Structure 1
């Protein structure tokens, strides 16, 4: 397994517990959705896996080595693009990247073309729409060719049409490099459309209450009847009444 999480708990200094006793694995090239109501520790779990938050108990292993050692190549996409306003689009993509700057810039230009931003390389963030800014964030997350890509509700602030466009773009990019992806989302439809497997979290502190295999091969239709049935199951697990 590429990623293994074993009996992992995150307890803060004030006594609050974000999640407890979480265990799961993720295979090479798998897209795993972390789904649940607000406050059950999903985003904190992503930060813990990324190495941004080291105050946990249990084990998080990447290729059998502790994530605390900062081994492996991990990319992270946040809810907001977090672009630096004083840098151009291409400068944002390569910012902080070590190595040959010219080579990385060429790579960034290729990525920007792949995410549909050819011609906007020298624009500044204030000149971009929300969807365009998030495309820059996708390119930035991919510039290091990560083996694991962590996505924390990356499309939640976008309108429905832009969200669907970027979901399809993400699948296209995934098809090229087959990175393992962990996607935090509140959107059940998004999770069923993008993911191979869903981990359903519930409670405060968050606990893993169910693992669901998405029963549909790609490419998927957003209105698929089989996915709609799985959505009903997930709503029931989360104790959410579905209005028809």
Structure 2
């Protein structure tokens, strides 16, 4: 179970106010995305949740317990896969569980097989494609013991076709394991396709300007992207973002 709650979060760096009164929740097994203009503080929110920064105001709770300023409470996947080049794929995906002494080789191998990476267990990162590296990084997140996964634009460096394939793969794996996910992206289509809710941030200092509850049923297929309803939702979010910039 993972229930994340941010209440009245404010953060400044020197004389620059980055966040102002940020409040939102991520419920158990929910997929929530954050959209906002560049420099609006999306990554700062992740760094606060991960305990790298301390909020100037407000509190961050996970399952009712304050985690403000505490590290190790979440699993985090950055834009780049961040695989260690000297470790095999298997050793990389077991890293998070290894750190806390909970590694399970058999479960890791099963997850690698489900991710379509069977046969690459002993391959090194330089032998993998970009999409394969991202799959490995996400498996590592799933195998880590923390109940909440924060994904920071994990597919931004991929081409459009590979990106869509990775989105579908992510949804299939997420629907099976049902971890709570907070996802940062600049891509409106991606946010709509993946999420239960989408939050739009204002320009700096960032506030939650508007929240969209996405009505599309699950499981979701790529044919959804071409429907009139999807395009109407995309237009609504686009217009909200356009009013900010």
Partner in structure 1 of residue 147 of structure 2: 147
How far off its partner does 1:47 sit? Answer: 1.7
Q: String of CA shifts for 1:69-123, please: whole Å, max 9, x gaps.
A: 748852111100011111111111122523255xx22222122112111110111
Q: 1:21 to 1:34 in 2, by over 3 A?
A: same
TM-score in terms of structure 2 length: 0.91
1-side partners of 2:128 and 2:113: how far apart?
Answer: 15
Partner of 2:229: 226
1:205-229 deviations in Å (ceiling 9; x for gaps): 2121001111221233121211211
In structure 2, list runs of 5 or more residues that go unmatched. Answer: none
CA contact (8 A) 1:62 1:71 kept: no
Cross-structure match for 1:6: 7
Secondary structure (helix, strand or coil) at the match of 2:232 reads: helix
Indicate if the aligned counterparts of 2:109 and 2:121 stay in contact, CA closer than 8 A.
Answer: yes
Cα-Cα RMSD: 1.9
Give the corresponding residue for 1:214.
Answer: 214
CA contact (8 A) 1:62 1:72 kept: no
Structure 1, unmatched stretches of 5+, are none
State the distance in 2 between where 1:145 and 1:176 align: 16
The 3-state SS of whatever aligns with 2:200 is strand
1:98 paired residue number: 100
TM-score w.r.t. structure 1 length?
A: 0.91
Comparing 145-154 with 115-124, which one deviates more in the overlay? 145-154
Q: 1:45 to 1:71 in 2, by over 3 A?
A: closer
Instruction: Name the counterpart of 1:194.
Output: 194
- Cα distance in 2 for partners of 1:108, 1:238 equals 40
Mean alpha-carbon deviation: is it higher for 71-80 or for 117-126?
A: 71-80
Alpha-carbon distance, 1:49 to partner: 1.1
Q: C-alpha separation between the residues in 1 aligned to 2:207 and 2:233? A: 20
